[in-house]
Structure 1
Amino acid sequence: MAKRIGPAPDGETIEKLATDAIRSLPAPFADHLADIVVRVEEFADDDILRDMGIEDPWELTGLYQGRPLSEQSIWSTGDMPPMISLFRMPLLNEWIETGVTLEDLVVHVLIHEVGHHFGLSDADMEALENAAGL
């Protein structure tokens, strides 16, 4: 008899993995993440994909939206809180394709987006990952 496989993890499960990851980050990083909103959506919407120049919605697993810490000021008012969006379907697809655990994948994407909150570019993060042997 074939092994039964349960349903794919839902958005709440992925959100919990992300919030647990944020809580587990060490100080001083965690001290600057208390106001970040994490939300999970099935896919990025068409406006986001167009703004980012992405044609295939399966390519985007996460997105940071907000003012990086390096650009924040007490004089900035009316800004929405920083937000990290995780896109469930592309995450699940990458999880299946790579064979890494869902927890590790969510943490990886989340840390990447947190890097943007701290003002790091994609190139900066890639250089850090390469230096760390990741």
Structure 2
Amino acid sequence: MQFNHPPSLEDLQAMAEAAFSAMPEALREAVRGAAILVEDVPDEETLEAMELQHPWELTGLYRGVPLTEKSHLSVPSEPDIILLYREPILVEWIETGEDLFRLVRNVLIHEIGHHFGFSDEEIARLEGEG
């Protein structure tokens, strides 16, 4: 995909949806019901909670209860959300030269990995499979 302008929120949302659609059905089914949202940058509250100084330090975030901590008896208080942050992703894209679709896919996989309670090593293996 070529861009004559910085990719918009809608462009990244479309990439995230395409990347999600291309994932194995079992993985998609396991996160069914989770919303995938793209925002420009993390808000101040998120940065403070994550102890980050700059919004470009965070490309994505999983908000919800990981499957490893869910109980069949518990009632979810909020829906699970996978957030992708446009500006930090674009900064990483520019700095690394990584293919933008692959970068969006990897951030999405990373956040889905948190849903499953995967370790960073397990997530890195999943990212390398695409």
Unmatched 5+ stretches in structure 1: none
TM-score normalized with structure 1 length: 0.85
TM-score normalized with structure 2 length: 0.87
1:125: how far off? Answer: 3.0
Q: Percent identity?
A: 40
The structure that has the greater radius of gyration is 1
Aligned length: 128
Question: What residue is the counterpart of 1:73 in the other structure?
Answer: 71
Residue 104 (1) aligns with residue 97 (2)? no
- Give the SS at the match of 2:19: helix
1:133: how far off? Answer: 9.3
Aligned residues: CA RMSD: 2.2
Runs of 4+ that moved beyond 2 A: 121-126
- Give the SS at the match of 2:61: strand
Paired residues of 1:22 and 1:33 also in contact (CA < 8 A): no
- Give the SS at the match of 2:6: coil
> 2:12 pairs with 14, 19, 23, which one?
14
Deviation digits for residues 38-86 of structure 1 (CA, Å, limit 9, x no counterpart)? 1111110111111111111111100001011122223221421111111
Question: What residue is the counterpart of 2:33 in the other structure?
Answer: 35
- Give the SS at the match of 2:62: strand
- Distance change in 2, residues 1:114/1:103 (3 Å): same
